[in-house]
Amino acid sequence: MRSVRLNVTGMTCGHCQGKVERALRAVRGVYAVDVDLAAGSAAVDFDDAQASVAQLTAAVAAVGYHATDAG
């Protein structure tokens, strides 16, 4: 299991926050997601044998936002 914090840009409201959360939860291997609208971030716990940070950022991009690994 691995945890990552993503910086997410483009979120402006609760609807945006929900879209990002649903997109991340839909990635196979994701166990937990916590999207913080005010901080513009998402904390994700996932099985790194089933998912990658690239897949997580791609899922966010697919719903219209931009995500990068906060390191």
Question: pLDDT per residue over 11-32, tens digit each?
Answer: 999 999 999 999 999 999 999 9
Q: How many structural domains is the chain composed of? A: 1
- Is the CB of residue 23 less than 8 Å from the CB of residue 62? yes
Question: pLDDT per residue over 31-65, tens digit each?
Answer: 999 999 999 999 999 999 999 999 999 999 999 99
pLDDT of residue 71: 81
- Domain with 22, as residue range(s), is 2-69
CATH value at residue 37 = 3.30.70.100
Helix residue spans in 1-71 (DSSP H): 14-25, 53-62
3-state helix, strand, coil in the chain (%, to 5): 30, 35, 35
